[in-house]
Chains A and B, each alone.
Chain A
Amino acid sequence: MTIRRHHDMGGLDAGTVEPVEHDYAIWEKRVDAIVKLMSTEDRPYLSTDELRRGIEELGPGVYDELNYYERWISSATNLMLEKGVFSVKELGRKMADVESRWQAAGAKPQ
């Protein structure tokens, strides 16, 4: 049996490379910063390969649906839950809190 995993795409057919780019949004830079700060010598919570593994395990649908830093925060958050950095309950409560604050400030979901 030859398993080819979804992220392992070298050599597959794909469309033209569109030369798109964007200035990284503040939230993307902050995800980047969280991951880097949590993978230092004195905070060895996330290794590059754990993060990669977590991204690969998001599965084909989610992998393509999310953008780059959405995949990063998904993987990093799962790993921090696994390692007990915070609990599911804490995360859920905090996310509800953040969303209600943002809504109160006039932001809307995309």
Chain B
Amino acid sequence: MEQTPRVPLKSIYRVFFEIGLFSFGGAVSGWIQREVVEVRKWMSHEDFLSGIALAQIMPGANATNSAVYVGQRLRGIAGAATALTAMMTGPFVAILVAAMTYQTFMKLPGFPQAMIGTAAAAVGMLLRTSVTSARVSARGLVPALVMAVTFVAVGIFRFPLLAVICVVAPVSVGLAFWASERRR
């Protein structure tokens, strides 16, 4: 069992509160990856990305599933509860305030456009972190092919996500197992 540094719950709360509050446009995984893997180095790229795959296979919102996975990995049940609560605090308050003031704000000229710009910036950040993950996880021909097939099937052909994972994941895992057997 590898040793992971014990991350304070307060730090988990702060990071996920911030991620939740600014998670416009649904671009959350990239941000979690940036904070948790790249800036704070709480977990490895592989650990995070395999967790993302698990979080996406499971039903529910990807953002909250990813938060639960990372929180649990860092601090068990307390970590998972902290990350989930922290991530939902900001959006919960924001969406109620927005619903109450919506009529006023949306009539302000340029406001909807500014919100679209904010969402676009969030997507831009996700694009950048996804390219980083792609580079890290596509070392070697087989992982690169697996990644490309998943991307094309889900992103371009829009095949059902669950079906794609059920086909691609066993092949990818099987090949990884075979490769590790051969290396021994």
A binds B: no
Give the interface of B toward A (CB within 8 A).
none
Give the interface of A toward B (CB within 8 A).
none
